[in-house]
Structure 1
């Protein structure tokens, strides 16, 4: 009986299990039940996943689109590449030495396609891919009609970089959690009860680890960020991992970031339910505008100065 696993990631880059579901088979009806049940447990719409990564299972992909229509669905790059690699082996049927060279070439060409940062560079990479594998037209046709044309937007950087995927491009976190669960199972012959007991042991330990990582971010400052004026308003308020990402952007790519550009994901440093969704300030803005209209010049300057303090902290 397949065990369907749903996994998330915290602001401190810790993986956690959202849910487990034993399903009779991997058909749409069972996936609908599992995801609808998960959805019913999410307290607010703000907690619905913004991005969902799955393997290239058509049934699961269809259900994700139905149950979470406002979430961006991505496909695991690792699974896609495995399918492409397997197809090349099946089509070519070459000797081991030649096949090894073909696979090395495939990896280079495939990475060029997947890592394309724009539609133009993607098109260029695909054209080059066609040239390199022109001796294997059936393979090229398979890749284009079965993989690239239908789902390129779900795994190629030119499209996936436009959504908040927090660096996730594969289902590796799910595989990792599956491996962790196995460590709690004494043998592979256990039934539902043993499976439940293993999960019941695993999840509390997982929560303890997550709380520890949150505590490190809210109570301790690493040496580099201590008393550094660039990070003074970020330490204790975002995760350590986010601080390192910001530092890496600054050092490696010379890219700055505004305080208000730090996504709320990196600010979540507690497990308790906290309302941190959209805050409507339209009424307050309207009142400020009306007050500006009726104020004298000196008062307008004071209001502007106060707004500047908020806008440019």
Structure 2
């Protein structure tokens, strides 16, 4: 039913004119309260003002121009500025600030900006539905796309998009693809899948993305799959904590029993780590069942180093790349309520920005020849391979020096398989023979610095069913997914920030990937303090003092020896109880090794170390040298103890080295402790 339109004609009366009196048959509406009325006839409505209403205002005068729509509006120049800044994906509040600065007489407010942005979107869509406009944009921009609809409702359920430049990157660098999905990106609440590639400069590029109804499909079934070790560690820690009902056991298990399994580089190391786990947690069969059934029996080849070291992955063993891609994408999206076409436009801008940065990094590797890379035997690679590759080789050369004469035995040659670049022993042989490395010794991934060279993926043929469909087909047969809304309960946020994982709810904080791997979670509590301020400086030999980089004076409550261990390896001296647990577990798991080292009896030593009651007496002190052996073995460190009296006399100076270590470890870590009062010192 169409709505009737009426024309309103204002008839101003002069001083001598008298208002006409409407007939009883005419529609009449009184207004103003001052003798004014409206009359309707065949020509439309007329407004007739009475003598008392003529020349008078029936409202207060305007005080704030910003609140009057007739006096506050965007001028043509302001509209053009809003259009330009919207195309640049500037946030509305920042657009408003720019308009106020350049066009103060427009008296703009936030509603003006939002309304005009909505008007721009409607003008661009030209009355087309969101799904139609979305797919037409992809066709106009020469995207490769694929879509799937529900056959019963013709509602779009899956759609994949790939930028043409992203496909050019993929054809050039097809070796590693990170895949993960994220949420809170669109108003339909459809999972958003990202496929992320890697450039030789160690930068990400978005290969393609997809809106999906669900995540049940398996993709790339014929390729080598790796699982993210960071997420696996978090899940293992959370589940063990839940099974044992002990908040410390989750982390202890991960550090003492799970990490050796994860980092095993030989089959013997892997089997040994499994046996140690079973012996240590025989009282918790649910833990052993969880680890084996969930991870090891079916997926060990996807994350244990013994198997992943045989896969060409260029160092990508976690999905941190695609997590970074999620974060970058959401920085462009700004809200979780976007439609298909608005999300497409913002992702397209993000890809264009990404392409610019990648080209810049590739050109920098071609043009800028770093001095640190111009060393024997890398000179011929400088400027012909990426800076990231050169940095890997420089670090491998440092490792070659650390391994010294044992480089051929302890190298491991992992880089030859995982990166296909020369390893430490190759560098040593090149230096000894006086030869240089050539491009053929480096994988094409690192030496391809121009997009399109050495491309390994053939260009796909256009599929007439998906690449050249007429937009009228979409408009006639494909419908927009329904918006997923909840009208009850707490109002939903438009934020794109993801929900917490289970282990994050347990900790009460959001997770952050640390920079430091291995068994030491977190850094030491000290930070480069001057050795001259050390209160027990007299207790150090003069020959040692120049090599000390840092120190910390832990609390002297009887637990100071274990506080030193916690401060150095566990992120702070307050974790001394955990340090005691770790040492006890190390001793229990390897009883045959320690039964002859603890002269007072192994069970008595376990009872002495097991203490969590705060201040303790001598019956729970750290015992020398017995307790130093599990410390050296578990953390693969050399523990050096100096005891010097106030007059320079020496007491029990000793060094304890690890009795065993993984075959690929370069060297032990070093901790120096003062004997009179335990204080950890970091030495070079």
TM-score (norm 2): 0.33
Match of 1:157 among 276, 281, 305: 305
Q: Post-superposition shift, 1:126?
A: 1.3
Matched, 1:237 2:384: yes
Asked if the contact 2:238–2:250 (Cα under 8 Å) also holds between the matched residues in 1, the reply is no
Question: Following TM superposition, by how much is the alpha carbon of 1:20 offset from its aligned partner in structure 2, in angstroms?
Answer: 0.6
2:208 aligned counterpart, secondary structure = strand
Distance in 1 (CA, whole Å) between partners of 2:254 and 2:322 is 26
Shift in Å, 1:85: 2.1
Give the corresponding residue for 1:140. 288
Structure 1 distance, partners of 2:315, 2:234, is 20
| Matching residue within 388, 399, 405 for 1:252 | 399
Residue in structure 1 matched with residue 447 of structure 2 by the alignment = 267
Question: Would you say the 8 A contact 1:88–1:139 is kept in 2?
Answer: yes
- Match status 1:190 vs 2:360: no
Partner of 2:276: 128
Instruction: Specify the alignment match of 2:366 in structure 1.
Output: 218
Is it true that 1:25 corresponds to 2:214 in the alignment?
yes
1:76-131 deviation per Cα after TM superposition (whole angstroms, max 9, x unaligned): 1122223322321221223xxxx225413423322211111111111111111222
Contact 2:366–2:449 (8 Å) recurs in 1: yes
Q: CA–CA distance in 1 between the matches of 2:201 and 2:330?
A: 24
Residue 140 to residue 101, structure 1, CA distance change in 2 (3 Å): closer
Structure 1 contact 249–255 (Cα < 8 Å) conserved:
no
Distance 1:229 1:153 in 2: 37
Tell me which residue corresponds to 2:232. Answer: 80
Deviation at 1:174, TM superposition (A): 0.8
Distance in 2 between residues matched to 1:124 and 1:156, nearest whole Å: 14
Where does residue 242 of structure 2 map in the other structure? 90
How far apart are 1:170 and its partner, in Å?
A: 1.3
Q: Residues 17 and 218 of structure 1: is their aligned pair in 2 closer, same or farther, counting only changes over 3 Å?
A: same
Counterpart pick for 1:64 among 210, 220, 228 = 220
Partner of 1:205: 353
Partner residue of 2:191?
Answer: 2
CA distance in 2, matches of 1:109, 1:93: 18
Deviations 1:209-268 (A, max 9, x none): 111111111001112224x35222101111011011111112113432553331111112
Paired with 1:89 and 1:148, the residues of 2 have a C-alpha distance of: 19
Structure 1 CA distance for aligned equivalents of residues 205 and 441 of structure 2: 25
Distance of 1:16 and 1:255 partners within structure 2: 33
Alignment root-mean-square deviation, CA: 1.8
Looking at structure 2, the residues matched to 163 and 111 of structure 1 have their Cα atoms a distance apart, in angstroms, of 20
| Counterpart contact for 1:250–1:256, Cα < 8 Å | no
C-alpha distance after superposition, 1:148-175 (max 9, x if no partner): 1111011011010111101011111111
- Contact 2:362–2:449, Cα closer than 8 Å, also in 1: yes
Whole-Å separation in 2 of the counterparts to 1:203 and 1:277: 22
Structure 2 residue runs of 5 or longer lacking an equivalent are 1-189, 401-423, 428-436, 458-684
2:328: which partner in 1?
180
**Structure with the larger RCO, 1 or 2 (CA within 8 Å, 6+ apart):** 1
Secondary structure of 1:17's counterpart equals strand
Q: Secondary structure at the match of 1:7?
A: strand
Deviation of the 1:11 alpha carbon? 0.4
The counterpart of 1:109, out of the listed 254, 257, 268, is: 257
Is the radius of gyration larger for structure 1 or structure 2? 2
Change (3 A) 1:201 1:229: same
Structure 1 pair 155/199, CA: closer, same or farther in 2 (3 Å)? Answer: same
Partners of 1:261 and 1:274 lie apart in 2 by: 18
Could you tell me which runs of 5 or more consecutive residues in structure 1 were left unpaired when the two chains were aligned.
Answer: 29-59, 279-313
Distance (whole Å) between structure 1 residues aligned to residue 298 and residue 338 of structure 2: 40
Cα distance in 2 for residues equivalent to 1:230 and 1:102:
46
Runs of 4+ in 1 over 3 A off after TM superposition: 275-278
Mapped partners of 1:124, 1:188: distance in 2: 48
TM-score, structure 1 normalization: 0.71
